[in-house]
Amino acid sequence: MGVKQKFSKKHNRKIWGYDARIDGERRRVFGFSAKESAEVALSKARLEAFERKHGVAPPAEKPTVTVRALVERRAAQLQETCRRRASANVLERFLRTLPAGLLVTELTTAHLRAYVDLRLKVNQPQTVFRELTDLCSMLNNARDLFAALEDWTPTRRPRMKSTAMARDRLIVPDEAARLLAEILRPRMDGETKGSHSVRLDAADLFQIALLTAARRMEILSLRWTDVHFEWKTLRVTGTKTGQVRVIPMPDALVRLLGRRKAEAGDSQRVFPALEGSTLLRNGTNVIYKEASERALIPYGRDVAGGWVLHDARHTAITAMLHAGASLESVMAISGHHARVMALRYAHSTAATRRAAVVALDQFAADEPRDGLHPHLRIVYSRASSEGST
């Protein structure tokens, strides 16, 4: 051990280095062109180890990456989707609640908690939960964005009560038919051509959500390169994970997208109305609310029994599970990675509860004479006969 020379295949020549035990740890460092350089490096390594052991070494430099720098780099990394702007706005909003120049290493759970408490005063828990997910996703990716943060441990995520965030509203077929009939009514007097077109788009958005179990922004982000009519498949990019999933298209969806493709012209988007306009993105809630009022169906998160577009995703997942599809297959279509999350959508209905109870009729005795089920009588009679022999 010590300073020595060895042949390097990488450099195709002999190089100098050292192989020594320093502070109880064996270190092998090679790559020096001269013996003297290797000796100096070994001496320096031993001196630094000695100073650390005896408390005279200078403290290690802390990363000087600011939260602002992290926010800017994360915003630049976000995909060019409809959700990108919303996520970037969340990061900027969070940044404004922090002291100027705050370092990433100085960020605490208390900072996140203060942001959550502030946002809960003006937003629903579901919205704040999504914003908190955006923030924690940024922090979890910080080590990949900055090499200086490689050894940094991300700040712990504050807990949020989940009771108010769970929804069990399902859209039954009769409601879906009534809503579509109202949304697809002919153009009204005074309604502009653009508003009427957006209303028709809102109807297609509603149907695609029911036919794919996809999220709203996942649907609005679709491009024609994601649609494969020959294979009857649809490529969906997850808004939460960024992962791509390919799902089969039912015939109704193939026909719907085929019609939209014929009407799209040169647009690369499945929903061309999003190009240079936010009318479709911001106007669907108004369209659904007005259609619901005419169809006498409650609408809104804060309305008793009210529905929202995301309930179409719940409904589609539940329908697939109730039809007998395996949980793994449904998760592959919906984009869930945790079984517990997918099972949250396996809602029961009056019909499925009745079917479950009817299935128990097979255990009932038609004319119970001795208080035993016929199957149990057979078991007991066999046990008695075997015991007698």
pLDDT at 50 (0 to 100): 79
Count H helices and E strands in the chain, helices first.
16, 6
Q: Are 104 and 66 in contact (CB under 8 A)?
A: yes
Q: Are 158 and 116 in contact (CB under 8 A)?
A: yes
Tokens of residue 78, six digits: 């976000």
10 Å Cβ neighbour count for 248? 12
pLDDT at 49 (0 to 100): 81
pLDDT at 227 (0 to 100): 96
Tokens of residue 100, six digits: 């100027």
How far apart are the two ends of the chain, measured CA to CA in Å?
83
**Which superfamily is assigned to 173-347 in CATH?**
Intergrase catalytic core (1.10.443.10)
Residue with tokens 């014929």: 262
Distance CA 310, CA 169 (A): 10
pLDDT at 188 (0 to 100): 85
Q: Are 118 and 77 in contact (CB under 8 A)?
A: no
Distance CA 158, CA 297 (A): 37
Cα 156 from chain centroid (whole Å): 19
37 burial (CB, 10 Å; 0-12 / 13-18 / 19+) is middle
10 Å Cβ neighbour count for 360? 8
- Neighbouring residues of 300: CB distance < 8 A, sequence distance ≥ 6: 289, 306, 308
pLDDT at 112 (0 to 100): 93
Domain positions in the chain are: 2-53, 67-149, 173-347, 359-389
HSE at residue 180, side-chain half, CA atoms within 13 A, is 16
pLDDT at 276 (0 to 100): 53
pTM metric for this prediction = 0.57
Tokens of residue 291, six digits: 């259609």
Tokens of residue 40, six digits: 């100096």
Distance CA 115, CA 307 (A): 28
Low-confidence ranges of the chain (pLDDT < 70): 10-11, 56-62, 79-84, 161-167, 240-242, 274-282, 338, 340-389
User: What are the tens digits of pLDDT across the range 15-71?
Assistant: 888 888 887 788 888 877 778 878 888 888 888 887 777 776 555 566 788 999 999
pLDDT at 54 (0 to 100): 74
